[in-house]
């Protein structure tokens, strides 16, 4: 019985190790600066399958393809900004962990503040209207 348990545990360990090997990124560059750029870019691009994980840490097939695209573009000499632009044009702003400060993102950041101000104005106008109605009712009596 103990031998069967050991075989099962060993099989489980082998399976778990093989899954983590898939997440290892073996992309290498001849230049250390390119390697650093690659690491930085893959850490700031979001995996569209995992959604809350960078493509550097994801083992999904899409993340592997995205890492390959980033590596290819770095090797062809494109700048970080060009690579980010390419990725956002192809996959949308969601791929960036830190989206650009554009019109849509400004609206997303300002919308709660604007709604809070709007609710404050509505609340104050309702309170003023009710207090005037109470004062008018007291004058009538």
3-state secondary structure 105-136: HHHHHHHHHHHHHHHHHHHHHHHHHHHHHHHH
**In a shared domain, residues 74 and 122:** no
**In a shared domain, residues 123 and 135:** yes
Measured on CA atoms in the order 83, 87, 90, 93, is the torsion positive or negative? negative
Is residue 72 a part of any domain in this protein? yes
Each residue's pLDDT, cut to its tens digit, for the chain (141 residues) gives 578 877 877 777 776 665 555 555 667 777 888 888 999 999 999 988 887 888 988 888 889 999 999 999 999 989 999 999 999 899 888 888 776 666 667 777 788 999 999 999 999 999 999 988 888 777 766
**In a shared domain, residues 72 and 96:** yes
Structural domain for 119, as ranges: 101-141
**In a shared domain, residues 81 and 92:** yes
30: domain CATH number? 1.10.8.640
Is residue 51 a part of any domain in this protein? yes
Is residue 69 a part of any domain in this protein? yes
């Amino acid at each position: 019985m103990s031998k069967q348990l050991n075989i099962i545990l060993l099989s489980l360990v082998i399976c778990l190790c093989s899954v983590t090997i898939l997440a290892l990124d073996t992309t290498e560059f001849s230049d250390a600066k390119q390697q650093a750029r690659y690491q930085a870019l893959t850490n700031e691009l979001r995996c569209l399958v995992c959604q809350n994980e960078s493509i550097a840490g994801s083992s999904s097939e899409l993340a592997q393809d995205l890492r390959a695209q980033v590596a290819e573009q770095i090797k062809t000499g494109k700048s970080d900004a060009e690579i980010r632009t390419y990725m956002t044009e192809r996959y949308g702003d969601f791929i960036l962990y830190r989206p650009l400060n554009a019109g849509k993102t400004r609206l997303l950041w300002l919308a709660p503040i604007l709604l809070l101000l709007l609710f404050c104005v509505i609340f104050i106008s309702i309170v003023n209207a009710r207090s005037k109605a109470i004062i008018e009712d007291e004058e009538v009596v």
